[in-house]
Amino acid sequence: MTISFSPILNQNDQFTQMAGIHRQLFDVAWSAASIAAMFEPKTAYRGSLVLDDDKIIGFIICSIVLDEAEIISMAIEKAFQQNGYGRLLLAYEIETLNKLAVKRLFLEVSEHNSAAQKLYTSMGFQRLAKRNNYYKQPDGTFADALVLSCDL
């Protein structure tokens, strides 16, 4: 098992694998086509992959505007969670964003996702705000989103 990181390229096989991971983890899953649309030329999106040998096991997608970025989605395949890959991927992306002169990184996380909240706060993110009823749950109820940011 060899773990490596790579930028997301405009390749359909990457988008198909990413959509499969997203489908495992999120109630409203993205299709390969919707992910591909983010990486068309002249968009403000970029991202990174974490790979086990040549298999994509996770990804992070950010949007960049001037010197600020927002994490749009971050996902690690279920079988690989709780092994530190999310932390490594986030650290890799932060390093990449630093090289792109990004000064501040934002994200939204469900109030119910305590594992993600723990990861983000351990890496220097602080709570800025709360968005009420932001995420629709499978049972039809809504969960609040916490808005976090980190100076890079």
Candidates 77, 92, 93, 108; catalytic one = 108
Q: Report the pLDDT value the prediction gives residue 54, as an integer from 0 to 100.
A: 86
Strand ranges inside 53-136, DSSP E: 55-65, 68-76, 104-110, 126-136
11 pLDDT higher than 90: no
Q: Report the pLDDT value the prediction gives residue 127, as an integer from 0 to 100.
A: 97
CATH class entry, domain 3-151? alpha beta
The pTM of the full predicted model, rounded to 2 decimals, is: 0.92
Annotation says 93 is catalytic: no
The continuous run of DSSP H or E covering 152 comes out as none
Q: Report the pLDDT value the prediction gives residue 12, as an integer from 0 to 100.
A: 84
**Domain extents in the chain:** 3-151
Annotation says 111 is catalytic: no
Candidates 77, 92, 93, 120; catalytic one = 120
Q: What is the pLDDT of residues 69-93, one digit of tens each?
A: 999 999 999 999 999 999 999 999 9
Q: What is the pLDDT of residues 16-34, one digit of tens each?
A: 999 999 999 988 889 999 9
Rounded Cα–Cα distance for residues 113 and 58 (Å): 17
Q: Is 12 helix (H, G, I), strand (E, B) or coil?
A: helix
Q: Is 81 helix (H, G, I), strand (E, B) or coil?
A: coil
Q: What is the pLDDT of residues 105-137, one digit of tens each?
A: 999 999 989 999 999 999 999 999 999 998 888
Cβ atoms of 123 and 91 within 8 Å: the answer is yes
